[in-house]
Amino acid sequence: MTPLTAGSDPALSLMSTPMHALVLRAPVTVAPLTSIRDAALLMREQRVSSVLIVEQGLLFGLVTDRDLRNRAVATGIDTQRPVMDIATLAPLGVGMNELAFDALLLMARHNIHHVPVLDGQRVVGMVTATDLTEQHSSSAVYLAGDIYKQGSVEGLQRASARVPHLQHNLAAAGASAYSTGHIVTAITDAITTRLLQLGEARFGPAPVDYVWVAAGSQARNEQTAKSDQDNGLVLDDSFDEALHGAYFRDLSRFVCDGLDACGYVHCPGEMMAMNDAWRLPRHRWVQLFAQWTEQPDPTALMLTCVFFDMRAIHGRVELLEGLRRGVLERTRGNGIFLAHMVNNALTRQPPLGLFKGLSPLRGGEHKGTLDLKHNGIVPIVDLARVYALSSGDSAVNTHDRLLGAAAGGDISEQSARDLRDALEFLASMRIQHQARQIALDLPPDNFMDPNEVSNFERTQLRDAFTVVKTLQNVLGQRFQSGQF
Protein backbone atom coordinates (compact mmCIF):
# COMPACT_ATOMS: atom_id res chain seq x y z
CA MET A 1 0.00 0.00 0.00
CA THR A 2 1.51 3.35 -1.03
CA PRO A 3 2.44 5.52 1.97
CA LEU A 4 1.55 9.18 2.10
CA THR A 5 4.26 11.37 0.64
CA ALA A 6 4.29 15.04 -0.23
CA GLY A 7 5.66 14.27 -3.66
CA SER A 8 2.78 11.95 -4.60
CA ASP A 9 0.04 14.45 -3.73
CA PRO A 10 0.05 18.12 -4.80
CA ALA A 11 -2.39 19.08 -2.04
CA LEU A 12 -0.30 17.23 0.52
CA SER A 13 2.63 19.62 -0.04
CA LEU A 14 0.58 22.17 1.90
CA MET A 15 0.54 19.68 4.75
CA SER A 16 4.32 19.37 4.84
CA THR A 17 5.23 23.02 4.28
CA PRO A 18 5.72 25.16 7.41
CA MET A 19 4.38 28.69 7.27
CA HIS A 20 7.82 30.27 7.64
CA ALA A 21 8.76 28.76 4.26
CA LEU A 22 6.08 30.92 2.62
CA VAL A 23 7.23 34.16 4.25
CA LEU A 24 9.34 35.81 1.56
CA ARG A 25 9.65 39.32 3.02
CA ALA A 26 9.44 41.20 6.29
CA PRO A 27 5.91 42.28 7.22
CA VAL A 28 4.73 45.71 6.15
CA THR A 29 3.60 47.42 9.34
CA VAL A 30 2.31 50.76 10.59
CA ALA A 31 1.65 52.23 14.02
CA PRO A 32 -1.95 52.43 15.30
CA LEU A 33 -2.14 56.24 14.89
CA THR A 34 -0.93 56.20 11.28
CA SER A 35 -3.50 57.90 9.05
CA ILE A 36 -5.62 55.90 6.63
CA ARG A 37 -4.11 57.87 3.74
CA ASP A 38 -0.52 57.17 4.80
CA ALA A 39 -1.33 53.47 5.21
CA ALA A 40 -2.80 53.39 1.69
CA LEU A 41 0.25 55.16 0.26
CA LEU A 42 2.56 52.67 1.97
CA MET A 43 0.57 49.73 0.55
CA ARG A 44 0.88 51.22 -2.94
CA GLU A 45 4.58 51.90 -2.49
CA GLN A 46 5.29 48.39 -1.18
CA ARG A 47 2.88 46.75 -3.66
CA VAL A 48 1.06 44.77 -1.00
CA SER A 49 -2.64 44.12 -0.47
CA SER A 50 -2.55 44.51 3.31
CA VAL A 51 -0.71 46.17 6.15
CA LEU A 52 -0.32 45.06 9.76
CA ILE A 53 -0.86 47.43 12.67
CA VAL A 54 1.88 46.80 15.21
CA GLU A 55 2.86 48.57 18.44
CA GLN A 56 5.91 47.55 20.50
CA GLY A 57 6.16 44.33 18.54
CA LEU A 58 2.56 43.25 19.22
CA LEU A 59 -0.08 42.77 16.54
CA PHE A 60 -3.15 44.96 17.07
CA GLY A 61 -4.92 44.83 13.73
CA LEU A 62 -4.93 44.26 10.00
CA VAL A 63 -6.06 46.45 7.10
CA THR A 64 -6.55 45.06 3.58
CA ASP A 65 -7.25 46.73 0.27
CA ARG A 66 -10.84 45.53 0.69
CA ASP A 67 -11.04 47.42 4.01
CA LEU A 68 -9.83 50.55 2.24
CA ARG A 69 -12.55 50.18 -0.39
CA ASN A 70 -15.44 49.18 1.87
CA ARG A 71 -14.67 50.98 5.13
CA ALA A 72 -12.95 54.13 3.89
CA VAL A 73 -13.65 55.07 0.26
CA ALA A 74 -17.22 53.75 0.10
CA THR A 75 -18.21 55.41 3.40
CA GLY A 76 -16.47 58.72 2.72
CA ILE A 77 -14.49 58.57 5.96
CA ASP A 78 -11.84 61.25 6.58
CA THR A 79 -8.59 59.65 5.42
CA GLN A 80 -6.64 61.59 8.06
CA ARG A 81 -8.28 59.50 10.77
CA PRO A 82 -6.20 56.71 12.35
CA VAL A 83 -5.97 53.50 10.36
CA MET A 84 -7.22 51.64 13.45
CA ASP A 85 -10.68 53.06 12.68
CA ILE A 86 -11.06 50.77 9.66
CA ALA A 87 -8.92 47.83 10.82
CA THR A 88 -9.87 44.29 11.68
CA LEU A 89 -8.80 44.10 15.31
CA ALA A 90 -7.10 41.04 16.81
CA PRO A 91 -6.93 39.21 13.45
CA LEU A 92 -6.61 35.44 13.29
CA GLY A 93 -3.03 34.30 12.77
CA VAL A 94 -0.93 31.14 12.51
CA GLY A 95 2.38 30.20 14.08
CA MET A 96 5.47 30.20 11.89
CA ASN A 97 5.97 26.46 12.48
CA GLU A 98 2.36 25.53 11.73
CA LEU A 99 1.57 24.04 8.35
CA ALA A 100 0.39 25.91 5.25
CA PHE A 101 -2.59 23.55 5.14
CA ASP A 102 -3.72 24.95 8.51
CA ALA A 103 -3.68 28.44 7.00
CA LEU A 104 -5.72 27.22 4.04
CA LEU A 105 -8.40 25.79 6.33
CA LEU A 106 -8.39 28.92 8.50
CA MET A 107 -9.06 31.03 5.41
CA ALA A 108 -11.81 28.74 4.15
CA ARG A 109 -13.60 28.51 7.49
CA HIS A 110 -13.47 32.22 8.38
CA ASN A 111 -13.78 33.83 4.94
CA ILE A 112 -10.43 35.60 5.09
CA HIS A 113 -7.67 35.96 2.50
CA HIS A 114 -4.81 37.34 4.63
CA VAL A 115 -3.21 35.55 7.59
CA PRO A 116 -0.43 37.05 9.76
CA VAL A 117 2.41 34.66 10.58
CA LEU A 118 3.60 34.80 14.19
CA ASP A 119 6.66 33.74 16.15
CA GLY A 120 5.08 33.66 19.57
CA GLN A 121 3.54 37.13 19.75
CA ARG A 122 5.98 38.69 17.28
CA VAL A 123 4.79 39.22 13.70
CA VAL A 124 7.20 37.78 11.14
CA GLY A 125 5.19 37.99 7.94
CA MET A 126 1.93 37.80 6.05
CA VAL A 127 0.56 35.05 3.81
CA THR A 128 -2.33 35.49 1.39
CA ALA A 129 -4.55 32.99 -0.40
CA THR A 130 -2.55 33.49 -3.58
CA ASP A 131 0.64 32.56 -1.74
CA LEU A 132 -0.76 29.06 -1.27
CA THR A 133 0.48 27.76 -4.59
CA GLU A 134 -1.84 24.74 -4.78
CA GLN A 135 -4.55 26.55 -6.74
CA HIS A 136 -6.80 23.49 -6.89
CA SER A 137 -6.87 23.55 -3.08
CA SER A 138 -7.03 27.31 -2.71
CA SER A 139 -10.24 27.30 -4.76
CA ALA A 140 -11.88 26.15 -1.53
CA VAL A 141 -11.02 29.56 -0.05
CA TYR A 142 -12.84 31.33 -2.86
CA LEU A 143 -15.83 28.99 -2.67
CA ALA A 144 -16.04 29.66 1.07
CA GLY A 145 -15.82 33.39 0.37
CA ASP A 146 -18.74 33.09 -2.06
CA ILE A 147 -20.73 31.21 0.58
CA TYR A 148 -20.33 34.03 3.09
CA LYS A 149 -21.62 36.51 0.51
CA GLN A 150 -24.95 34.71 0.10
CA GLY A 151 -28.02 36.31 1.64
CA SER A 152 -30.49 33.45 1.20
CA VAL A 153 -30.80 29.68 1.35
CA GLU A 154 -31.29 29.70 -2.43
CA GLY A 155 -27.93 31.41 -2.86
CA LEU A 156 -26.30 28.83 -0.60
CA GLN A 157 -27.88 26.06 -2.67
CA ARG A 158 -26.21 27.43 -5.79
CA ALA A 159 -22.85 27.71 -4.02
CA SER A 160 -23.07 24.22 -2.48
CA ALA A 161 -23.79 22.73 -5.92
CA ARG A 162 -20.10 23.39 -6.66
CA VAL A 163 -18.89 21.04 -3.90
CA PRO A 164 -19.02 17.89 -6.06
CA HIS A 165 -17.03 19.76 -8.73
CA LEU A 166 -14.47 20.77 -6.08
CA GLN A 167 -14.15 17.15 -4.95
CA HIS A 168 -13.83 15.99 -8.56
CA ASN A 169 -11.01 18.48 -9.16
CA LEU A 170 -9.22 17.41 -5.99
CA ALA A 171 -9.47 13.78 -7.07
CA ALA A 172 -8.19 14.63 -10.56
CA ALA A 173 -5.25 16.48 -8.99
CA GLY A 174 -4.37 13.44 -6.89
CA ALA A 175 -5.15 15.05 -3.54
CA SER A 176 -5.05 12.67 -0.59
CA ALA A 177 -8.26 11.53 1.08
CA TYR A 178 -7.04 13.17 4.30
CA SER A 179 -6.66 16.60 2.69
CA THR A 180 -9.82 16.20 0.58
CA GLY A 181 -11.82 15.41 3.72
CA HIS A 182 -10.55 18.51 5.48
CA ILE A 183 -11.20 20.76 2.48
CA VAL A 184 -14.71 19.45 1.72
CA THR A 185 -15.60 19.63 5.43
CA ALA A 186 -14.37 23.23 5.60
CA ILE A 187 -17.01 24.08 2.98
CA THR A 188 -19.69 22.33 5.06
CA ASP A 189 -18.55 24.36 8.07
CA ALA A 190 -18.84 27.57 6.04
CA ILE A 191 -22.36 26.71 4.86
CA THR A 192 -23.41 25.84 8.41
CA THR A 193 -21.96 29.05 9.81
CA ARG A 194 -23.61 31.16 7.13
CA LEU A 195 -26.98 29.52 7.78
CA LEU A 196 -26.63 30.33 11.47
CA GLN A 197 -25.79 33.94 10.61
CA LEU A 198 -28.82 34.16 8.33
CA GLY A 199 -30.94 32.54 11.02
CA GLU A 200 -29.83 35.06 13.63
CA ALA A 201 -30.58 37.87 11.16
CA ARG A 202 -34.09 36.45 10.71
CA PHE A 203 -34.96 35.53 14.30
CA GLY A 204 -32.80 38.04 16.17
CA PRO A 205 -29.76 37.61 18.43
CA ALA A 206 -29.65 34.44 20.50
CA PRO A 207 -31.21 35.02 23.94
CA VAL A 208 -28.52 32.89 25.67
CA ASP A 209 -25.09 31.62 24.64
CA TYR A 210 -24.93 28.46 22.54
CA VAL A 211 -22.53 26.45 20.43
CA TRP A 212 -23.56 24.61 17.29
CA VAL A 213 -21.68 21.31 17.16
CA ALA A 214 -21.07 19.00 14.25
CA ALA A 215 -21.05 15.27 14.92
CA GLY A 216 -20.06 12.26 12.86
CA SER A 217 -17.95 12.70 9.73
CA GLN A 218 -18.20 16.51 9.75
CA ALA A 219 -16.76 16.58 13.26
CA ARG A 220 -13.94 14.29 12.15
CA ASN A 221 -13.15 16.39 9.04
CA GLU A 222 -13.82 13.32 6.91
CA GLN A 223 -16.71 14.37 4.69
CA THR A 224 -17.12 13.77 0.98
CA ALA A 225 -19.68 15.08 -1.47
CA LYS A 226 -22.03 12.30 -0.28
CA SER A 227 -22.91 13.14 3.34
CA ASP A 228 -25.92 13.50 5.54
CA GLN A 229 -25.95 15.79 8.57
CA ASP A 230 -25.37 15.01 12.24
CA ASN A 231 -25.41 17.97 14.61
CA GLY A 232 -26.61 19.31 17.93
CA LEU A 233 -26.91 22.43 20.05
CA VAL A 234 -25.26 22.86 23.43
CA LEU A 235 -27.01 25.71 25.24
CA ASP A 236 -25.82 27.72 28.20
CA ASP A 237 -27.25 26.50 31.50
CA SER A 238 -29.19 29.76 31.80
CA PHE A 239 -31.49 28.39 29.06
CA ASP A 240 -35.17 28.41 30.03
CA GLU A 241 -37.49 26.39 27.79
CA ALA A 242 -40.46 28.66 28.39
CA LEU A 243 -38.49 31.80 27.57
CA HIS A 244 -36.00 30.60 24.98
CA GLY A 245 -37.28 27.31 23.57
CA ALA A 246 -39.18 28.73 20.61
CA TYR A 247 -36.17 30.76 19.42
CA PHE A 248 -33.78 27.83 19.30
CA ARG A 249 -36.45 25.55 17.84
CA ASP A 250 -36.92 28.00 14.96
CA LEU A 251 -33.18 28.59 14.50
CA SER A 252 -32.25 24.91 14.45
CA ARG A 253 -35.09 24.03 12.08
CA PHE A 254 -33.98 26.82 9.73
CA VAL A 255 -30.36 25.60 9.73
CA CYS A 256 -31.12 21.88 9.41
CA ASP A 257 -33.62 22.47 6.60
CA GLY A 258 -31.10 24.79 4.95
CA LEU A 259 -28.40 22.12 5.11
CA ASP A 260 -30.85 19.63 3.62
CA ALA A 261 -31.58 22.06 0.78
CA CYS A 262 -27.83 22.35 0.18
CA GLY A 263 -27.44 18.59 -0.22
CA TYR A 264 -26.64 17.55 3.35
CA VAL A 265 -29.76 15.45 3.78
CA HIS A 266 -31.61 15.14 7.06
CA CYS A 267 -30.13 12.42 9.26
CA PRO A 268 -32.28 9.28 8.89
CA GLY A 269 -31.95 8.75 12.65
CA GLU A 270 -32.95 12.38 13.34
CA MET A 271 -29.69 13.09 15.14
CA MET A 272 -29.95 16.80 14.43
CA ALA A 273 -30.30 20.00 16.42
CA MET A 274 -33.88 20.48 15.18
CA ASN A 275 -34.81 17.39 17.21
CA ASP A 276 -35.64 18.46 20.79
CA ALA A 277 -33.52 15.55 22.09
CA TRP A 278 -30.31 17.06 20.67
CA ARG A 279 -30.92 20.70 21.56
CA LEU A 280 -30.12 20.83 25.27
CA PRO A 281 -28.46 22.93 27.96
CA ARG A 282 -24.96 21.87 28.87
CA HIS A 283 -25.87 20.12 32.13
CA ARG A 284 -28.36 17.89 30.28
CA TRP A 285 -25.65 16.86 27.81
CA VAL A 286 -23.45 15.97 30.79
CA GLN A 287 -26.25 13.78 32.15
CA LEU A 288 -26.72 12.07 28.78
CA PHE A 289 -23.05 11.20 28.39
CA ALA A 290 -22.97 9.90 31.96
CA GLN A 291 -25.98 7.71 31.23
CA TRP A 292 -24.47 6.36 28.01
CA THR A 293 -21.18 5.45 29.68
CA GLU A 294 -22.80 3.92 32.79
CA GLN A 295 -25.57 2.04 30.96
CA PRO A 296 -24.19 1.27 27.49
CA ASP A 297 -27.20 -0.47 25.91
CA PRO A 298 -27.40 -0.86 22.09
CA THR A 299 -29.13 2.50 21.63
CA ALA A 300 -26.57 4.26 23.80
CA LEU A 301 -23.72 2.67 21.85
CA MET A 302 -25.22 3.82 18.56
CA LEU A 303 -25.51 7.36 19.90
CA THR A 304 -21.99 7.38 21.28
CA CYS A 305 -20.62 6.52 17.83
CA VAL A 306 -22.16 9.77 16.59
CA PHE A 307 -21.96 12.17 19.52
CA PHE A 308 -18.57 11.15 20.93
CA ASP A 309 -17.21 12.68 17.72
CA MET A 310 -18.10 16.35 18.20
CA ARG A 311 -16.55 19.63 17.05
CA ALA A 312 -17.63 23.24 17.62
CA ILE A 313 -18.71 25.07 14.46
CA HIS A 314 -20.20 28.36 15.63
CA GLY A 315 -20.92 30.05 18.93
CA ARG A 316 -19.35 29.87 22.37
CA VAL A 317 -16.85 27.05 21.93
CA GLU A 318 -16.11 26.82 25.66
CA LEU A 319 -19.48 25.13 26.17
CA LEU A 320 -18.28 22.12 24.18
CA GLU A 321 -14.67 22.11 25.35
CA GLY A 322 -15.62 21.60 28.97
CA LEU A 323 -18.17 18.96 28.02
CA ARG A 324 -15.66 16.93 26.00
CA ARG A 325 -13.10 17.02 28.81
CA GLY A 326 -15.68 15.58 31.18
CA VAL A 327 -16.64 12.86 28.70
CA LEU A 328 -13.03 11.73 28.24
CA GLU A 329 -12.53 11.60 31.99
CA ARG A 330 -15.50 9.21 32.19
CA THR A 331 -14.34 6.92 29.38
CA ARG A 332 -10.62 6.69 30.18
CA GLY A 333 -10.02 3.26 31.70
CA ASN A 334 -13.77 2.53 32.01
CA GLY A 335 -13.52 -1.22 31.38
CA ILE A 336 -17.24 -2.08 31.21
CA PHE A 337 -18.07 0.75 28.84
CA LEU A 338 -15.02 0.09 26.65
CA ALA A 339 -15.88 -3.61 26.44
CA HIS A 340 -19.26 -2.69 24.97
CA MET A 341 -17.57 -0.25 22.58
CA VAL A 342 -15.19 -3.01 21.46
CA ASN A 343 -18.08 -5.36 20.75
CA ASN A 344 -19.78 -2.60 18.80
CA ALA A 345 -16.60 -1.88 16.84
CA LEU A 346 -16.46 -5.52 15.71
CA THR A 347 -19.99 -5.65 14.30
CA ARG A 348 -19.05 -4.25 10.89
CA GLN A 349 -16.69 -6.63 9.13
CA PRO A 350 -14.63 -6.05 5.97
CA PRO A 351 -16.04 -7.78 2.86
CA LEU A 352 -13.67 -10.74 2.81
CA GLY A 353 -14.71 -14.29 1.95
CA LEU A 354 -12.92 -17.62 2.07
CA PHE A 355 -9.16 -17.38 1.60
CA LYS A 356 -9.52 -13.60 2.14
CA GLY A 357 -10.96 -12.97 -1.30
CA LEU A 358 -13.25 -9.99 -1.89
CA SER A 359 -16.90 -10.70 -1.04
CA PRO A 360 -19.30 -8.23 -2.73
CA LEU A 361 -22.86 -7.73 -1.51
CA ARG A 362 -24.99 -10.74 -2.44
CA GLY A 363 -28.38 -9.09 -2.76
CA GLY A 364 -30.38 -5.91 -2.71
CA GLU A 365 -30.14 -2.75 -4.77
CA HIS A 366 -26.33 -2.74 -4.69
CA LYS A 367 -25.74 -6.44 -5.37
CA GLY A 368 -22.23 -7.17 -6.60
CA THR A 369 -20.67 -4.03 -5.12
CA LEU A 370 -18.43 -3.26 -2.16
CA ASP A 371 -19.73 -0.84 0.47
CA LEU A 372 -16.51 1.12 0.92
CA LYS A 373 -17.94 3.25 3.72
CA HIS A 374 -19.71 0.85 6.07
CA ASN A 375 -17.53 -2.23 5.51
CA GLY A 376 -14.19 -0.50 5.01
CA ILE A 377 -13.90 3.01 6.43
CA VAL A 378 -16.34 2.81 9.35
CA PRO A 379 -14.58 -0.19 10.98
CA ILE A 380 -11.33 1.83 11.06
CA VAL A 381 -13.18 4.85 12.46
CA ASP A 382 -14.68 2.61 15.17
CA LEU A 383 -11.29 1.13 16.08
CA ALA A 384 -9.69 4.56 16.36
CA ARG A 385 -12.58 5.83 18.51
CA VAL A 386 -12.09 2.98 20.99
CA TYR A 387 -8.38 3.80 21.27
CA ALA A 388 -9.17 7.49 21.86
CA LEU A 389 -11.86 6.88 24.48
CA SER A 390 -9.66 4.32 26.23
CA SER A 391 -6.75 6.73 26.62
CA GLY A 392 -8.72 9.98 26.97
CA ASP A 393 -7.26 11.36 23.73
CA SER A 394 -9.11 14.54 22.69
CA ALA A 395 -8.40 14.06 18.95
CA VAL A 396 -11.50 13.64 16.77
CA ASN A 397 -10.06 12.95 13.31
CA THR A 398 -9.45 9.22 12.73
CA HIS A 399 -5.94 9.66 11.31
CA ASP A 400 -4.98 11.83 14.29
CA ARG A 401 -6.50 9.34 16.74
CA LEU A 402 -4.37 6.55 15.28
CA LEU A 403 -1.26 8.70 15.67
CA GLY A 404 -2.22 9.32 19.30
CA ALA A 405 -2.89 5.62 19.91
CA ALA A 406 0.60 4.73 18.66
CA ALA A 407 2.22 7.49 20.71
CA GLY A 408 0.38 6.31 23.83
CA GLY A 409 1.26 2.66 23.33
CA ASP A 410 -2.33 1.47 22.76
CA ILE A 411 -1.28 0.07 19.39
CA SER A 412 2.10 -0.59 17.82
CA GLU A 413 3.63 1.99 15.50
CA GLN A 414 3.49 -0.54 12.65
CA SER A 415 -0.17 -1.41 13.23
CA ALA A 416 -1.14 2.26 13.44
CA ARG A 417 0.73 2.96 10.21
CA ASP A 418 -0.99 0.01 8.50
CA LEU A 419 -4.40 1.25 9.61
CA ARG A 420 -3.65 4.82 8.47
CA ASP A 421 -2.54 3.52 5.07
CA ALA A 422 -5.63 1.32 4.82
CA LEU A 423 -7.85 4.26 5.72
CA GLU A 424 -6.17 6.51 3.17
CA PHE A 425 -6.42 3.90 0.42
CA LEU A 426 -10.08 2.98 1.06
CA ALA A 427 -11.14 6.62 1.42
CA SER A 428 -9.25 7.49 -1.79
CA MET A 429 -10.97 4.65 -3.64
CA ARG A 430 -14.30 5.97 -2.40
CA ILE A 431 -13.47 9.52 -3.55
CA GLN A 432 -12.27 8.31 -6.96
CA HIS A 433 -15.44 6.21 -7.33
CA GLN A 434 -17.56 9.24 -6.51
CA ALA A 435 -15.51 11.39 -8.90
CA ARG A 436 -16.36 8.97 -11.75
CA GLN A 437 -20.04 9.22 -10.86
CA ILE A 438 -19.87 13.03 -10.67
CA ALA A 439 -18.23 13.14 -14.11
CA LEU A 440 -21.20 11.14 -15.46
CA ASP A 441 -23.65 13.48 -13.70
CA LEU A 442 -24.75 10.66 -11.39
CA PRO A 443 -25.40 11.08 -7.65
CA PRO A 444 -22.31 9.92 -5.73
CA ASP A 445 -22.60 6.90 -3.45
CA ASN A 446 -20.38 4.49 -1.52
CA PHE A 447 -21.00 1.30 -3.51
CA MET A 448 -18.16 0.41 -5.88
CA ASP A 449 -18.22 -2.43 -8.38
CA PRO A 450 -14.83 -4.16 -7.97
CA ASN A 451 -14.83 -4.75 -11.72
CA GLU A 452 -14.47 -1.02 -12.37
CA VAL A 453 -10.92 -1.00 -10.99
CA SER A 454 -7.72 -2.74 -12.04
CA ASN A 455 -6.48 -6.11 -10.80
CA PHE A 456 -3.73 -4.27 -8.95
CA GLU A 457 -6.26 -2.08 -7.12
CA ARG A 458 -8.38 -5.11 -6.25
CA THR A 459 -5.30 -6.67 -4.68
CA GLN A 460 -4.74 -3.48 -2.67
CA LEU A 461 -8.39 -3.50 -1.63
CA ARG A 462 -8.01 -7.03 -0.34
CA ASP A 463 -4.83 -6.07 1.51
CA ALA A 464 -6.52 -3.03 3.10
CA PHE A 465 -9.52 -5.09 4.23
CA THR A 466 -7.14 -7.73 5.61
CA VAL A 467 -5.35 -5.09 7.70
CA VAL A 468 -8.69 -3.97 9.14
CA LYS A 469 -9.79 -7.53 9.89
CA THR A 470 -6.47 -8.35 11.55
CA LEU A 471 -6.59 -5.30 13.82
CA GLN A 472 -10.22 -6.03 14.70
CA ASN A 473 -9.10 -9.49 15.82
CA VAL A 474 -6.30 -7.97 17.89
CA LEU A 475 -8.73 -5.60 19.59
CA GLY A 476 -11.12 -8.48 20.31
CA GLN A 477 -8.32 -10.52 21.87
CA ARG A 478 -7.31 -7.57 24.06
CA PHE A 479 -10.90 -7.27 25.26
CA GLN A 480 -11.14 -10.99 26.06
CA SER A 481 -7.87 -10.88 28.00
CA GLY A 482 -9.15 -7.98 30.12
CA GLN A 483 -6.62 -5.41 28.90
CA PHE A 484 -9.26 -2.62 28.92
**pLDDT, position 10:** 43
**pLDDT, position 4:** 36
Give me the percent of the chain exceeding a pLDDT of 70: 94
Q: Is the pLDDT of residue 438 over 70?
A: yes
146 phi and psi, to 5 degrees?
A: -65, -35
**pLDDT, position 232:** 97
**pLDDT, position 15:** 62
**pLDDT, position 108:** 80
Contacts 24+ apart (CB under 8 A), 430-435: 430/177, 430/224, 430/372, 430/373, 430/376, 430/377, 431/167, 431/170, 431/171, 431/177, 431/180, 431/224, 432/171, 433/372, 434/164, 434/167, 434/171, 434/224, 434/225, 434/226, 435/167, 435/168, 435/171, 435/172
Q: Which residues contact 454 (CB under 8 A, 6 or more apart)?
A: none
pLDDT band (50, 70, 90) for residue 136: very low
Global confidence as pTM: 0.77
**pLDDT, position 249:** 98
pLDDT band (50, 70, 90) for residue 431: very high
The DSSP letter of residue 409 is: T
- The residue among 233, 151, 231 whose CA lies nearest residue 188 is 231
What is the overall mean pLDDT for the chain?
89
Q: Tell me: the pLDDT tens digits for 8-34? A: 444 446 666 788 888 878 899 999 999
Q: Put residue 315 in one of left, alpha, beta given phi > 0 → left and psi -120 to 50 → alpha.
A: left
Q: Which segments of 204-307 are extended strands (E)?
A: 210-215, 231-235, 279-281
pLDDT: is 314 or 6 the higher one?
Answer: 314
**pLDDT, position 330:** 87
**pLDDT, position 427:** 96
> What average pLDDT does range 97-111 have in this prediction?
83
3-class secondary structure, 262:
coil
What amino acid is encoded at 208 in this protein?
V
Q: Tell me: the pLDDT tens digits for 378-395? A: 999 999 999 999 889 999
> What average pLDDT does range 189-196 have in this prediction?
95
Q: Tell me: the pLDDT tens digits for 286-331? A: 999 999 988 888 888 888 888 889 999 999 999 998 898 888 988 9
Q: Tell me: the pLDDT tens digits for 48-100? A: 989 999 998 889 999 999 899 999 999 999 999 999 999 999 899 999 988 88
Q: Is the pLDDT of residue 226 over 80?
A: no
Q: Is the pLDDT of residue 247 over 70?
A: yes
Q: Is the pLDDT of residue 437 over 60?
A: yes
pLDDT band (50, 70, 90) for residue 335: confident
**pLDDT, position 484:** 58
**pLDDT, position 349:** 92
> What average pLDDT does range 266-279 have in this prediction?
94
Helix (H) or strand (E) holding 140: helix 135-149
Q: Treating both helix axes as pointing N-terminal to C-terminal, what angle do 378-391 and 398-407 enclose, rounded to 10 degrees?
A: 50
**pLDDT, position 185:** 93
Q: Treating both helix axes as pointing N-terminal to C-terminal, what angle do 153-160 and 135-149 enclose, rounded to 10 degrees?
A: 170
Chain centroid to Cα 159, Å, comes to 18
Weakest mean pLDDT among 119-133, 194-208, 356-370, 429-443: 119-133
> What average pLDDT does range 326-338 have in this prediction?
88
CA atoms of 250 and 256, how far apart (whole Å): 10
Q: Is the pLDDT of residue 112 over 50?
A: yes
The DSSP letter of residue 482 is: T
**pLDDT, position 2:** 35
Pairing of strands 370-371, 447-448: antiparallel
**pLDDT, position 135:** 43
**pLDDT, position 6:** 38
